[in-house]
Structure 1
């Protein structure tokens, strides 16, 4: 059998074959049409979606955390998936390798979830409650401020400077949080105040 095929005819036939193969690969085949009639539920359809900020650096990329478990009903929520927030203006859904591994960070067995305290002269840390930890911090701040606040300088001017304490804030926050942090620190009289991108 002899097929008489011109070069132009061969290109038309090859182009039609590529188009048909591409349509089949994109889901327009007979098997895909039958599959489309049965809609599968997405694996994240039954989860709770929470938006947050990646904790790693000062870029402040937006993330979406998906968790199972109803916290309002007293259940413990378990984070099952974390991805970049495509609506966030900073990262538009992309994450760096550290941000992409956030789920492993959350579920790490060595991750601390409760405050720990080592007593003076002690050799080991012990877990304490959040209330106890915050009370200890507040007491230390109050005692140091009361002992070291400089209210008036040598010229008799009111200055209200507290120079024996400093504050290091994280940059991965919203403008509103940064503004409140600044106002809180300055209202206490703290002079040494800085933002660190890698906190």
Structure 2
């Protein structure tokens, strides 16, 4: 059997084949039409949605966290889905690969959920309470500031500089939190102040 097909005829046939398979792939096939005929519940319909900021780099992308479980009733909330926030002006719903994998980070076995300390002479870290951790940090800051605060320079000018302690701020914060952090650090006299975004 001999098929007489011109170049123009071949191009028309190939174009029609591409169009037909494209329509099928976009959901215009018979199986997809039957699937769309019945309504099924949304996967996240019974979850609680919370807006937050991605914990990775300094871009501070907006994320939506979906959890199941009634915390008010004493149940533990389980995070079931994390996605980009389409209403956030920074990322408009998109996330990088690290941000897209946040759910795996949240459920990681190695994720720290409480403060830990390695005491002098110890070979391992031990867990401590948040109150104990904050008290230790406050005590160390107070002792260092009392010992090393420079009130005046050599010319007798008041400078109130504290140069032996530094502060590294988080970059994934709101403008209000960043402003408050800056004012607090500078009010204490700390000179060495930087941001995670530059590290």
Tell me which interval the TM-score lies in, with the shorter structure as reference length: 0.7 to 0.9
Following TM superposition, by how much is the alpha carbon of 1:97 offset from its aligned partner in structure 2, in angstroms? 0.8
TM-score normalised by length of structure 2: 0.83
Whole-angstrom distance in 2 between the partners of 1:104 and 1:22: 34
**Residue equivalent to 2:47:** 47
Local SS of the residue matching 2:187: helix
Gaps of 5+ in 1: 1-14
Matches within 5 A, 1:57-96: 57-96=57-96
Task: Note if 1:56 corresponds to 2:47.
Answer: no
Following TM superposition, by how much is the alpha carbon of 1:162 offset from its aligned partner in structure 2, in angstroms? 0.7
**Residue equivalent to 1:161:** 161
Following TM superposition, by how much is the alpha carbon of 1:152 offset from its aligned partner in structure 2, in angstroms? 2.0
Conserved? CA contact 1:169–1:196, under 8 Å: yes
Change (3 A) 1:152 1:77: same
Greater mean alpha carbon deviation, residues 29-38 or residues 75-84: 29-38
Change (3 A) 1:78 1:188: same
Cα deviation code 1:119-165 (max 9, x no counterpart): 11111111111111111111111111111111122222221111110
Q: How many residue pairs get matched?
A: 195
TM-score normalised by length of structure 1: 0.83
Conserved? CA contact 1:86–1:92, under 8 Å: yes
**Residue equivalent to 1:148:** 148
Conserved? CA contact 1:71–1:77, under 8 Å: yes
Conserved? CA contact 1:118–1:124, under 8 Å: yes
**Residue equivalent to 1:100:** 100
Cα deviation code 1:101-120 (max 9, x no counterpart): 11111111111111111111
Whole-angstrom distance in 2 between the partners of 1:129 and 1:89: 37
Whole-angstrom distance in 2 between the partners of 1:81 and 1:36: 24
